[in-house]
Structure 1
Amino acid sequence: MTTLTVDNPYTGDVACTVPLADEATVNTVLDQARAAARAARATSLAQRKDWCERMVAAMEAKADAIATDISRMMGKPLAQARGEIRGMAERARYMISIADTALADVVLPPKAGFERRIIKEPLGVVVDLPAWNYPLLTAVNVVVPAVLAGNAVVVKHSPRSPLCGEHFARAFVEAGAPPHLVQAMHCDHPTSERVVGDARVDHVVFTGSVYGGQRLTLASAARFRHMGLELGGNDPAYVAPDCDFDKTVENVVDGAIYNAGQSCCAVERVYVHRSLYKRFTEACDALVRGYVLGDPMSDKTTLGPIAQPNHPLELEQLVEDARGKGARVVVGGKRTQVDGKGRFFEATLLTDLDDSMQVMRQESFGPLLPIAPVDSDEEALERMNKSELGLTASVWTKDRERAARFATQLEFGTVYMNRCDSVDPALPWIGVKNSGRGHSLSALGFDQLTRPKSIHFRLSF
């Protein structure tokens, strides 16, 4: 039997070992999912809501164990991992609360002698490939609405966080859901590509890199299947002259450094109006220096290790590229360890950047805060849009009209005013350009997990 071993990014010890599915196992899982999908289709929405609510309660009851698994597998500080469980429950319960309305038939206006409706049918088998950085949130965005819509789900979690898929599958069993309604499966990348192209799979959702999304899209192309893709961002923030200064500094720094910057919607580049530039960078300096690196299990730790083994070097190369092109490294910029342990990267403040620097043009996925001065709203808007990625953007201002002007012209799925790095389950989560396609969450999220069917009945001749 082939296995996957995940290391602990702080201790270097084995965090977990899981079996990788061979061809026979894949066939069994997909056949079971097909049978479960047929069974789920025949159940009531009330029953599916009950399973999902009980699933959430089961995971909440094991919150400490799940949070510990997350910290061991990907290095997130334990307090933040506990917070992710709360966020998972909030998203799940919101989707449960709107399911009756979102999945209801669309009844067309009366037409003499006819009945006309649009019903929303489940797709069948949904394969979900969540990301490791928020292993519960990226999974729940798909798992719960898919089940509510009457689908079966196979969770093929990231090889950095495989135990999280198992937590969802076990919680549905504990909730009394039918066997195999939600299954966890571990497999290598070539097997994943074969799975998404399998005729037994009706829909695929992937959260990860642009390259991964391209590979999976090619693998499923022959099936004429729509895929949901959330592929990250290079998310900009604009600090306008009239911002609420102290709150803006605090939120922008947190938006860049939280979870060691390993967030698809982290603040990746900041454009500050020149009238505030010196004061803003000085204020950021003090906060960036305040992060505490250390054991993710310690409540004192506010910056955990980097999850992926090769990434600290990649972050250092981004910093050196910027330095070589004239940027100033005010704080941090290097790989490090704590008491001889861990693959850490220092919380880093970079100033005097321009858009030729790699750190301003690609997703860094690390605790980097690059800041550049701009002379006007127009310059900020132009530079914010100068990206192949388009997930989120934020505008920091007291002027709602300014934010509204930016929102109409920014080429991003979500535009924030005075917040960042946040997901509201009542709003659809959308990527444009190379940040993906499709959307999750909100009432619109159910549209990706159902297909419309037209009911066109002539009632009398």
Structure 2
Amino acid sequence: MFVDGEWTGAESGETFDVTSPATGEVIAKVPKGGKKDAEKAIKAAEKAQEKLAEKTTKEKERLWRVTIEKLEPNLEDYAKEMSLEQGKPITEAKEEVYEVADNILWAVEDVKHLETEVLNGYLQPDRKYIVQREPLGVVGIITPWNYPMVMPAEFIPHAILCGNSVVYKPASNTPIGGIRFIEGMVEAIEELDFPKEIINIVTGPGSEVGSEISSNPSVGGICLVGEVTTGQKIVESAGLKKVTLELGGNDPLIVMDDADLEKAANDTVYGCCGNAGQVCCANERILVHEDIHDEFVDMVVEKTKNVKLGDPLDEDTGIGPMNNEDTLQKVEKHVEDAKEKGANILCGCKRASGFPTDLYYEPGVIGDVTTDMLLNKEETFGPVAPIITFSSKEEALEIANNQPYGLSSAVHTTNLDNAMYFSDKIQAGNVIVNGPVLTWDLLHPWSGMKKSGIGATGGKWSVEAFTTIKEIQLPWKQ
């Protein structure tokens, strides 16, 4: 942990093991922080924020450019650590660690190009109203276990560039990537003489560390990526703090009868198997028009069989182990429920033998899925492609929207009218036309509807998430 300007253990002296889902070996022992550690971090961050506020945007830009310099020599090693810690294939881990710099540099440009409004008075025409954005103060950032290094890179740079100090809690399953990110930042802070306390990382259980971050009155804002149940607890404890939440989804990919089936099949397999399906914007439900059902499903089954399950450190591995037993048991529960209700396993969908752990799960396709099955009703979060058949776009829309979630979605069609129909009517924060649901970029708003989130991040929307508005009135003679 890095708390109050120094690397330290937990006040209790306790640690917890980080166990590799790939090998079953303990790869790190990490301080098991608690409420008191979080309190200490928040107090330090509060004091440092006043000093950070005195820094110019140019100085903060320099901090992040030097952070990139500190991280870059070690990215290949970080990728190997990530594969062992999280389970994702080394090819995906490399993509993630190399995307860290992109996120940082984009955040820098977002803040450098921040624009606010100057308004002419209406009821008071002799005044001008100047709108400016100011930091929230201390910001708590809580990230999940599926993207250990790029998640902190998506949020911490924006928060600090906007003038906030940060208390950061990574997921206990995968804290190493976040620790490495903070190590690079701390080296840059020391080189540039920034107050060290502007960044704090507290590892430990969410029930203690996360709860204290969300409820502490000295914290001005919370940014969480996680499960819906966790988000609900954060909202309950945060009170009137500014809260930005990106939560779970049960995202549909719709394949119309006029779709490019080759591309749709490729996008289906990618969006179901990427990161072993452990992504909030994975293809959770595959809705297929009845007229092209058989041809399309055959293509998806064949492509899924070609995804190599194996050692995540092998360059030719397409999918590694799932990260943890709880998530895998949920996948198995959903698959068993579907089988009991009449669905057919077309390939995969079972644990694989002959690997160091029993977290290796064969990616699969399930046919004859109906809307009463858990695969349709809940987020599965695994490498499974449940096929649901529809006969009209109206029926597809009804299936897509009949959910408490609304994070993301996709539709494959070559018909512009169909594309616009779904774009207008799907109840989701994102609609991707002719791509996988598993899609994002650095500059667009990432948000959810219904139970899938509050607020938005990404590009300038992250600046809005980490700031508040102040209005200044000036007398002005016309």
1:195 maps onto 2:213 in alignment: yes
From 86, 107, 115, the equivalent of 2:118 is 107
Structure 1: stretches of 5+ with no match in the other structure: none
1:329 alignment partner, SS class:
strand
From 106, 112, 127, the equivalent of 2:140 is 127
Q: Distance in 2 between matches of 1:309 and 1:91?
A: 31
Letter in 2 for 1:411: Q
1:172 maps onto 2:185 in alignment: yes
CA contact under 8 A between 1:293 and 1:338: conserved in structure 2?
Answer: no
Q: Distance in 1 between matches of 2:261 and 2:116?
A: 48
Shift of 1:141: 2.2
CA contact under 8 A between 2:34 and 2:205: conserved in structure 1?
Answer: no
Deviations 1:81-139 (A, max 9, x none): 1101223322222222222222x342224786434200100111111000110122322
CA contact under 8 A between 2:110 and 2:463: conserved in structure 1?
Answer: no
Q: Distance in 2 between matches of 1:293 and 1:253?
A: 13
CA contact under 8 A between 2:116 and 2:133: conserved in structure 1?
Answer: yes
1:244 maps onto 2:260 in alignment: yes
From 10, 13, 18, the equivalent of 2:30 is 18
From 356, 381, 385, the equivalent of 1:365 is 381
2:284 alignment partner, SS class:
strand
From 441, 447, 452, the equivalent of 1:424 is 441
CA contact under 8 A between 1:248 and 1:418: conserved in structure 2?
Answer: yes
Letter in 1 for 2:183: R
Q: Distance in 1 between matches of 2:295 and 2:22?
A: 35
Letter in 2 for 1:184: I
CA contact under 8 A between 2:23 and 2:356: conserved in structure 1?
Answer: no
Shift of 1:56: 2.8
1:310 maps onto 2:326 in alignment: yes
1:411 alignment partner, SS class:
coil
CA contact under 8 A between 2:443 and 2:459: conserved in structure 1?
Answer: yes
1:62 maps onto 2:74 in alignment: yes
Q: Distance in 1 between matches of 2:120 and 2:113?
A: 18
Partner in structure 1 of residue 422 of structure 2: 406
Shift of 1:24: 4.1
CA contact under 8 A between 2:127 and 2:476: conserved in structure 1?
Answer: yes
Shift of 1:189: 2.4
Query: What TM-score do the two structures reach when normalised by structure 1?
Result: 0.95
Partner in structure 2 of residue 117 of structure 1: 130
Question: How do residues 117-266 of structure 1 correspond to structure 2 at under 5 angstroms?
Answer: 117-176=130-189, 177-191=194-208, 192-221=210-239, 224-266=240-282
Q: Distance in 2 between matches of 1:389 and 1:31?
A: 36
Q: Distance in 2 between matches of 1:337 and 1:366?
A: 18
Partner in structure 1 of residue 40 of structure 2: 28
Letter in 1 for 2:435: R
Percent of residue pairs bearing the same amino acid type:
28
Aligned residues between the structures: 458
Classify 1:387/1:250 alpha carbon distance in 2 versus 1 (closer, same or farther; 3 Å).
same
From 293, 298, 301, the equivalent of 1:277 is 293
Question: How do residues 283-294 of structure 1 correspond to structure 2 at under 5 angstroms?
Answer: 283-294=299-310
Question: How do residues 435-454 of structure 1 correspond to structure 2 at under 5 angstroms?
Answer: 435-454=452-471
Classify 1:426/1:446 alpha carbon distance in 2 versus 1 (closer, same or farther; 3 Å).
same
Letter in 2 for 1:144: P
Shift of 1:235: 0.4
Deviations 1:244-293 (A, max 9, x none): 12111111111111110011000000111111100000001111111212
